[in-house]
Amino acid sequence: MEPIISNSPEQTFALGRDYAAKLRAGDVLALDGDLGAGKTQFIKGLAAGLGHTGEVTSPTFTLVHEYTGGKLPLYHFDFYRLESADEALRFGLDDYLGESAILAIEWAGKFPALLPASTRWLRFRAGDGDQRTIELS
């Protein structure tokens, strides 16, 4: 698939919002890319597209945020601070994988073996200024 170019945080948000229409219960999204590459902004749009209201922030310190009340629950993970796959399993990742929800995992590339084969990978790269390149697989 051809990479998508976003030229602003608002465009990245809109891409996430539009992408939400393609998702079904049980889908797992693995977001990978450097700090500031647009992963959280995309998930903010994803949450809006699923009908969630309220603030969406990266769960860097809490590891997971649960957004309910929309079309589907959204479980937003952040593996950035995790040192091992065992840590991800100890906080119950396996339990979330069985839910009828959307799972969006930032820094998923740290532990790809934990994710199902059907995981959709989204790779984010920062360019000049606010430009971002997003590759969907």
pLDDT digits (tens, 9 = 90+) for 51-71: 998 889 888 777 899 999 889
Q: What is the tally of structural domains in the chain?
A: 1
Among 123, 120, 92, 100, CA closest to 28: 120
What is the mean pLDDT of the segment spanning 3-13? 94
Q: Does the pLDDT value for residue 44 go beyond 90? A: yes
Cβ neighbours of residue 19 under 8 Å, at least 6 residues apart? 42, 45, 46, 49
* Residue 81 vs residues 29, 60, 84: alpha-carbon distances, Å: 19, 7, 9
Instruction: Give the pLDDT score at 2.
Output: 84
Q: Is the pTM of this model over 0.85?
A: yes
Query: Residues 87-132: pLDDT tens digits?
Result: 888 888 888 898 899 999 999 999 999 999 999 999 999 989 999 9
- CATH code (residue 126): 3.40.50.300
What is the extent of the structural domain holding 69? Answer: 4-136
